[in-house]
Amino acid sequence: MWYYNGRIINRPESIKANGYVYNQDLFKDENKLAELGIKPYRLVVPDSKYYSQGALNISNVDNEVVGTYSAIGKDVNILKKEMLKTIKNQLSSLLSNTDWYYLRKLRTGTDVPSDIQDYSDALYSEYDTKKAEIDAMSKISQIQEYENRSHTQVRKVQSTNSDGKTIYGPKTESFTTHINMCMHWTAHPDDEVDPAFVSLTAD
């Protein structure tokens, strides 16, 4: 997009400048655009999950024009209500994978495996922790951070040995990832183990 004479130009078009009509090929010539004062335009909008759009403010920043919508924060209590609903649904979904063991115990008396019991207990504990953390929030910035928490993940580097077999390590690599803590729970004991995984640590 471009900006010229107070107007946002969304796509190349014929345009009159300095008494001359240029066809849309003008927009392929950056030097000519700069000569005519037609600047690149960039639009900045607030994250619609947390903010509503307010007034549009236009400003010149270096060699471009930037349009920025002011951010109007949404109701924190409504956002928290959605988060609480999410973690409740997540807990129910994850526990559904263990229901069979408890139904079997009721019908046959067969004990629930210790790893399944530990997993179930961990889920309930995590739910209580998440609920308390969400209840304590009072600012949109806290909600944003919780739903986009920065973590550093370390993984073994994948390679192929002389036999053509895939191996992992000993070299490792690390990178930053952002995790929604409402969706981040203890892994099921029967989940497949990721051979490249080393660690995941909150920053």
Average pLDDT over residues 24-46: 94
Q: Are residues 47 and 119 in the same domain?
A: no
pLDDT at 26: 95
Domain span at residue 158 reads 76-202
Predicted confidence (pLDDT) at residue 85 exceeds the cutoff of 90: yes
Contacts 24+ apart (CB under 8 A), 5-13: 8/41, 8/67, 9/38, 9/41
Q: Are residues 162 and 88 in the same domain?
A: yes
How many domains is the chain built from?
2
Q: Of the ranges 17-21, 85-89, 139-143, 178-182, which one carries the lowest mean pLDDT score?
A: 17-21
What value does the mean pLDDT of the chain take?
A: 95
Q: Are residues 82 and 66 in the same domain?
A: no
pLDDT at 18: 86
Predicted confidence (pLDDT) at residue 8 exceeds the cutoff of 90: yes
Domain boundary among 56, 73, 90: 73
Domain boundary among 73, 92, 108: 73
Q: Are residues 84 and 183 in the same domain?
A: yes
pLDDT digit string, tens, across residues 48-81: 999 999 999 999 988 899 999 999 999 999 999 9
Average pLDDT over residues 115-129: 97
Which amino acid type is present at position 107? R
Q: Are residues 48 and 105 in the same domain?
A: no
Give 18: exposed, middle or buried? Use CB within 10 Å, 0-12, 13-18, 19+: exposed
pLDDT digit string, tens, across residues 129-172: 999 999 999 999 999 999 999 999 999 999 999 899 999 999 99
Q: Are residues 90 and 57 in the same domain?
A: no
Predicted confidence (pLDDT) at residue 109 exceeds the cutoff of 90: yes
Q: Are residues 97 and 58 in the same domain?
A: no
| Residue 48, token pair as written in the block | 């619609």
Q: Are residues 48 and 82 in the same domain?
A: no
Residue pair 158/172 in contact by the 8 Å Cβ criterion = no
Q: CA-to-CA distance for 201 and 187, rounded, in angstroms? A: 15
> What's this model's pTM, rounded to 2 decimal places?
0.81
Residue with the bigger pLDDT between 175 and 61: it is 175
Which amino acid type is present at position 169? G
Q: Are residues 130 and 196 in the same domain?
A: yes
Q: Are residues 83 and 127 in the same domain?
A: yes
Domain boundary among 73, 94, 112: 73
Q: What share of residues in the chain are helix, strand, coil (percent, to 5)?
A: 35, 35, 30
Q: What percent of the chain has pLDDT over 70?
A: 100
Q: Are residues 121 and 196 in the same domain?
A: yes
Q: CA-to-CA distance for 43 and 32, rounded, in angstroms? A: 23
pLDDT at 65: 97
Q: Are residues 197 and 103 in the same domain?
A: yes
